[in-house]
Structure 1
Amino acid sequence: MWGKLLGAGFGFLFGKWLGAILGCYLGHLFDKSLKQDFDKAGGFQGFFSGDDLNERQALFFSSCFAVMGHIAKSNGRVSEVHIQAASAFMDEMALHGDDRREAQSAFNAGKQADFSIKESVHDFKEAFARRYDLLQLFLEIQIQMAFSDGHLSAKELELLKLVSKYLGIGGKHFNFVLKRYQAEFKFRQQRAQWQSQQSNRQSNQSENRGYKQSYQNKVAPEPEVSRIHALAVLGLEQGASEKEIKRAYRKLMAQHHPDKLVSQGLPEHMMEVAKAKSQSIQAAYEALKK
């Protein structure tokens, strides 16, 4: 902002209105470059001490699992699927010992009748108000928990909307994030099934030495429906241009960059979550490039 203002001012002194326009443009380039350097340095997080960062990471950790527990209990009881999903999530984060017990304790706290989801999410938002990418990742994790059994109940959807509201995320963007995750869920399922089929196919062919080498190495193309799901993972619809696909891909990769999110307050244990999401985005983009 200051770069554009100063550039326009100095430009006007030396070249009147034409100079002001040129100076404003050069100032815009300066602002953009300065912002990128600022973000790489950790943004406002760079002004916090190590203790402040640790406190924020601890808050993210406890709030995340507490709200997950509350959502899991939303239908009256925590199903075996939700318990398995929470355990798998802890496994993905490589939680062991005290760290795992802390996560389980927070998850159980969220299941209690006196747990206030409004207060918990409000405290979280206060701590991460300037970190929109972390707020969105928090919401995505809650959607992942609610969707662990493959569908959303009316109560789960209601709670997710409340979480989104308390985070300050509008209804339109909530629907966008929800739709993206549903597409990501289906995309992962489809790719896992296709990869399993290819693995079995190659295994069977290698056991039968009567096949020609060219046939053994033949790989069946991915089904066309992958393109539909891949576009949806990037938040796009059929007919999206190559330029739109690249823009969406770069934006989502920037939002889910693990190192950047950790520098902003994401617990290091949760870096694997951000990596998994980045990998899904990357896989969807690669599928669209073929």
Structure 2
Amino acid sequence: MGILIGGLIGYRLGGFIGMLLGAWLGHQVTQFISGDRRFTKQNRSAIQHSFFKALFVSMGKLAKLDGVVSRQEIDRAEIIMNKMKLTPELRQQAINYFNLGKQAHYKIERDLTDFRQKSRTSLSLKQFFLEMLIDMATVDGDIDNAEQHLIEQICQLIGYPLAMLHAMFKMRSSSYYQQHDNQNHRQDQTRPASLNDPYRVLGVAKTADKQTVRRAYKKLMSQHHPDKLVSKGLPPEMMKVAEEKAKNIQLAWEEIKDLRGW
């Protein structure tokens, strides 16, 4: 098709010689596009593996940062593995990577650099990666200085903008919401923890207007669309994790609308 179209265009512009030149250019374009598609398909599994390994070694390093891996941190890692519905082989691999990351002598920099090189400019995939680490760090409370410093190092190694990470830190900090909460909103302990504060899920202050909240909701839904993330290299086993994040974003938006009467 590329040869045909290129030849027709070339013929109209330059006669027989133009047709030959146009057909050759059309062939080159067709080869480039098909080659790029083959590269993308073949490379996706490599991206998925690099994401998988980099995530669990980073989680292990983060968990052992204070010298002791807490029960909450182990539970959090197990929850992620359970949601991924890993095969026994992949589950053992995830555990091995987690334990590898805990070792003081193990350098996670090479795994993070590998993930950066393979994921290239996919910011949404890198953001999802960092969100998983922040979830791990906040499982036992707010992020402390050592945890923040390590995640910042990871952020730079995978090529994600540091300013965007700092915005994520700010929005996930409970102190941020204590400063901006002018309402006595009682949390319902019967709901999932992630939905106790819908403003925190969307990363907005409780005083934010409708336009700000809606903009944050739409942006997050776009960034966390499971199919979009998988197409960029998210391991398919993490589809359930991505779906749950997207669900929580949707429910947070619905809850805020009910609370504010929008």
Answer yes or no: same fold by TM over 0.5: yes
1:269 aligns with 2:260: no
Mark the CA change 1:182 to 1:47 in structure 2 (over 3 Å): closer, same or farther: farther
CA deviation profile, 1:29-48 (whole Å, cap 9, x unmatched): xxxxxxxxxxxxxxx98553
1:125 aligns with 2:116: yes
CA deviation profile, 1:203-256 (whole Å, cap 9, x unmatched): xxxxxxxxxxxxxxxxxxxxxx96xx4233222224423222222111110000
TM-score, L = length of structure 2: 0.73
Tell me which moved more, 174-183 or 136-145: 174-183
Mark the CA change 1:192 to 1:280 in structure 2 (over 3 Å): closer, same or farther: farther
Mark the CA change 1:45 to 1:244 in structure 2 (over 3 Å): closer, same or farther: farther
Match in the other structure for 1:84? 75
1:66 aligns with 2:57: yes
Match in the other structure for 2:209? 241
Q: How does 1:34-73 map to 2 (within 5 A)?
A: 46=37, 48-73=39-64
8 Å contact kept, 1:45–1:264: no
Mark the CA change 1:45 to 1:92 in structure 2 (over 3 Å): closer, same or farther: farther
Shift of 1:136: 0.6
- Could you list the structure 1 runs, at least 4 aligned residues long, displaced by more than 6 angstroms after superposition: none
Mark the CA change 1:181 to 1:105 in structure 2 (over 3 Å): closer, same or farther: same
8 Å contact kept, 2:84–2:237: yes
1:137 aligns with 2:128: yes
Structure 2 CA distance for aligned equivalents of residues 231 and 287 of structure 1: 9
Match in the other structure for 1:286? 254
Structure 2 CA distance for aligned equivalents of residues 174 and 49 of structure 1: 28
Match in the other structure for 1:15? none
Report the residue type matching 1:193 in the other structure. Answer: Q
8 Å contact kept, 1:81–1:149: yes
Match in the other structure for 2:189? 193
Match in the other structure for 1:168? 159
**Could you list the runs of 5+ residues in structure 1 that have no partner in the other structure?**
1-43, 197-224
Aligned residues: 212
Shift of 1:153: 3.2
Structure 1 CA distance for aligned equivalents of residues 237 and 166 of structure 2: 28
TM-score, L = length of structure 1: 0.66
Query: Aligned residues: percent identity?
Result: 35
CA deviation profile, 1:27-84 (whole Å, cap 9, x unmatched): xxxxxxxxxxxxxxxxx98553543211211111111111111111111132222112
Tell me which moved more, 267-276 or 159-168: 159-168
Match in the other structure for 1:101? 92
Structure 1 CA distance for aligned equivalents of residues 161 and 139 of structure 2: 24
Shift of 1:193: 1.2
8 Å contact kept, 2:86–2:237: yes
8 Å contact kept, 1:45–1:263: no
Match in the other structure for 1:215? none
Structure 1 CA distance for aligned equivalents of residues 129 and 121 of structure 2: 14
Across the aligned residues of Structure 1 and Structure 2, the Cα RMSD in angstroms comes to: 2.6
Mark the CA change 1:238 to 1:195 in structure 2 (over 3 Å): closer, same or farther: closer
8 Å contact kept, 1:231–1:284: yes
Q: Secondary structure at the match of 2:68?
A: coil
Q: Secondary structure at the match of 1:130?
A: coil
**One of 104, 107, 116 as aligned partner of 1:113:** 104
Q: Secondary structure at the match of 1:193?
A: coil
1:251 aligns with 2:242: no
8 Å contact kept, 1:92–1:273: yes
Shift of 1:150: 2.4
8 Å contact kept, 2:50–2:111: no
Mark the CA change 1:182 to 1:274 in structure 2 (over 3 Å): closer, same or farther: farther
Q: Secondary structure at the match of 1:48?
A: helix
**Could you list the runs of 5+ residues in structure 2 that have no partner in the other structure?**
1-34, 178-185
8 Å contact kept, 2:54–2:108: no
8 Å contact kept, 1:234–1:248: yes
Shift of 1:117: 2.8
